[in-house]
Amino acid sequence: MNVRKHLHVTCAIIEHDGHVLAAQRSAEMSLPLKWEFPGGKIDPGESPEECLRRELMEEMAIAVNVGKKLPASTHQYPKFAVTLHPFLCSIESGEIVLHEHAAITWLPPEELHTLDWAEADLPIIEAYLEAYGAIAR
């Protein structure tokens, strides 16, 4: 029996001045050069909010305010499953320094779909756009 690994991962939808942050995975990461919302795997005994604060400090050297939780979304990749736990966030302090990602960009919500996203992030984008009326008019 083939039991796939199932990861629980937080992701931050970081908003600033009407734009949303997207981060491009580095060439060395799994799903190389795909775009994603930054975040990471939840450690045992860690709350999703604690995980997000830790991961964003490690990956981007920023402290964030973790706000509203959006519905979790599970995606089956060929070798593993991932459940994303998205939160609306804002930067509390720090300037973004990329420790793991290849690039970042700030986009208006209606332009998020123009990037080549990791498949697991696509339902998160849709839920975000639906919940916040940011559908392109």
What is the model's pLDDT at position 2?
55
Q: What letter would DSSP give residue 109? A: G
Locate 61 and state its tokens. 């050297």
Q: What is the pLDDT of residues 40-66, one digit of tens each?
A: 999 999 999 999 999 999 999 999 999
**Whether 74 contacts 119, CB under 8 Å:** no
How many Å apart are CA 125 and CA 113, to the nearest integer?
A: 8
Residues in the chain predicted with pLDDT less than 50, given as ranges, are 1, 135-137
How many Å apart are CA 99 and CA 79, to the nearest integer?
A: 26
Hey, where are the domains in the chain? 5-131
pTM, two decimal places: 0.91
Task: Read off φ and ψ for residue 65, nearest 5 degrees.
Answer: -90, 120
Choosing among 3.40.50.920, 3.65.10.10, 3.90.79.10, 1.10.645.10, the CATH entry for 5-131 is 3.90.79.10
Distinct helix (H) and strand (E) counts, the chain: 2, 8
